Amino acid sequence: MNTLNKLRALGVKISIDDFGTGYSSLSRLSKLAFDKIKIDKSFVHSISTHEDALNIIKLITGMAKSLNMKAVAEGVETQEQLKSLQALGCDFAQGYLFGKPQPCVNEEIRNGQVVPINNRKTMP
């Protein structure tokens, strides 16, 4: 936790990845101060076919907002998914819809891998 605080003091934003699966949990949210919650792609892929996935994303985005965090959807591949995520209040999206993974060779590429979706702007 001390390392995270040092990174935060340097201006580094901290995200919890794959939220809703694996080792990401509510107890981690309460113990560590995150800036972003990254919603696991398994929920995003099922958003139009399983109402439970839609409801889980809605809950995660609401929880993120109540904790003053941003919600990031992983694995966005279609415009339909993007529109649903916008309607649910998700702040950012990343996935093949915006580009394939690339090595992180400079800041411009790094910043272009997560796209804000609620204000309809895209990053370079």
Rounded to the nearest angstrom, the gap between the alpha carbon of residue 20 and the centroid of all alpha carbons in its chain is 12
Q: What pLDDT shows up at residue 116? A: 64
Torsion region of 95: left, alpha or beta (phi above 0 gives left; psi -120 to 50 gives alpha): left
Question: Options 3.20.20.450, 3.30.70.100, 3.40.720.10, 3.80.10.10; which CATH number does 2-116 get?
Answer: 3.20.20.450
pTM here is: 0.73
Q: Is the distance from CB of 115 to CB of 123 less than 8 angstroms?
A: yes
Q: Which two tokens stand for residue 46?
A: 């099922």
Each residue of 73-100: pLDDT tens digit? 999 999 999 999 999 999 999 999 988 8
Instruction: Name the average pLDDT for the chain.
Output: 81
